[in-house]
Amino acid sequence: MIRVQEQDFDIGKELAALTGGNTAIGGLAVFVGLVRDIAGGSDIQAMTLEHYPAMTEKMLAEIEAEARERWPLEASLIIHRYGRLEPGDQIVLVAAASAHRDAAFEACQFLMDWLKTKAPFWKLEETDAGAQWVDARSSDDAAAARWVKQDPDAAE
Amino acid sequence: MRGKRKKTDVKLLYFAWLKTKTGLSEEDVSPPENVATVGELLTWLEGRGPEFADALSDRDAIRVAVNQAFAKNSDPIGPNDEVALFPPVTGG
């Protein structure tokens, strides 16, 4: 399930709803992204997340579908917020549930790594020096690249 | 003139600093008929004025989506396509 919303989310309620009634689930891995108060040495007062609604929904659905194809997941969830957020606020929730922990951990990390480089969100940080668009990080590209499937013929 | 093919309109969307630099969030444009790919569209846009030339000067810093899917410079632009220009994404 994917959701893109302005309002906050309650992690406990979301996870209970995600796993409720499914006793095949033996492991649930969760990642929550929060707004930091410092970036690149500047104090952050707030940030505004802009997105491209039609494409955001499409990309998140594709990323989730890819995870479900790669791992035997019983349930999965991506919630991403947009709008103005302050330090300490929750930005994103990603959860993956499976019979065993390996699939849950891996799928959760995959979902975040691909979301970081494929979902059309942009952060505008408010600092003492004014508002600045956040630059993409090459480390995020590297993190996403490790999940790119190798051509099986090339490995031989 | 009757029977003449109507010029193709493309809907352009701008996000993040591309919106700031161009001063636009969206617009409908009718590029000339020799503009058939994403790369040709960017080059044509660049020639529209100083704010576009500035916004599009660093091509490596720009990502393009055609109809909500990431596109390459060589990908075609078709009638009534929605073309979005934005910097590399920074969500999560």
Q: Are A56 and B15 in contact (CB under 8 A)?
A: no
- Number of CB atoms found within 10 A of residue A144's CB: 17
Extended strands (E) in chain B: 10-14, 26-29, 63-66, 69-71, 82-86
Q: Residue A103 belongs to what domain range?
A: 2-147
Q: Which of A147, A118, A145, A141 is nearest to A58 (CA)?
A: A118
% of chain A residues with pLDDT over 90: 87
Q: What is the C-alpha separation between B8 and A39, in angstroms, rounded? A: 44
- Tell me if A29 is assigned to some domain: yes
Structural domain count of chain A: 1
Confidence at residue B4, expressed as pLDDT on a 0 to 100 scale:
42
Q: Is residue A97 situated within a structural domain?
A: yes
Mutation pick from B12, B26, B60, B90 vs chain A, by most beta carbons of A within 10 Å, is: B90
The closest CB to that of A115, out of B13, B88, B91, belongs to B91
Residue recorded with tokens 């997105």: A51
* Residue B54 touches chain A, beta carbons under 8 Å: no
Task: Give the CATH number, domain containing residue A140.
Answer: 3.90.1170.40
3-class DSSP state of A104: helix
The DSSP string of A10-44 is -HHHHHHHHHTT-TT--EEEEEEEE--SEETTEEE
H/E element holding B22? helix B17-22
On the question of pLDDT at A156 being above 50, the answer is no
- Tell me the domains of chain B and their CATH numbers: 17-86 (3.10.20.30)
Contact B87 A122 (CB under 8 A): yes
Q: B29-84: per-residue pLDDT in tens?
A: 999 989 999 999 999 999 999 999 999 999 999 999 999 999 999 999 988 999 99
A153 within a domain of the structure (yes/no): no
For residue A69, being part of any structural domain is answered with: yes
The token duo for A55 is: 């494409």
State the pLDDT at residue A129. 86
Strands A90-98 and B10-14: unpaired
**Closest-approach residue (CA) in chain B for A80:** B92
Q: CB A119 to CB B68 under 8 A? A: no
Q: Is residue A24 part of a domain?
A: yes
In chain A, what's the furthest Cα-to-Cα distance? 55
Query: Which range among A22-36, A112-126, A128-142, B58-72 shows the weakest confidence by mean pLDDT?
Result: A128-142
What ipTM describes this predicted complex? Answer: 0.90
Question: What is the per-residue pLDDT for B3?
Answer: 38
In a domain, A81, yes or no: yes
> What is the arithmetic mean of pLDDT over A19-48?
93
What pLDDT is attached to residue B7?
Answer: 56
- Report the pLDDT averaged over residues A64-86: 98
Given a cut of 60, whether residue B2 has pLDDT beyond it is: no
Q: Under a CB-based contact definition with an 8 Å cutoff, are residues B85 and B57 in contact?
A: no
The answer on pLDDT for B5 being more than 50 is no
Q: Is residue A114 included in any domain, yes or no?
A: yes
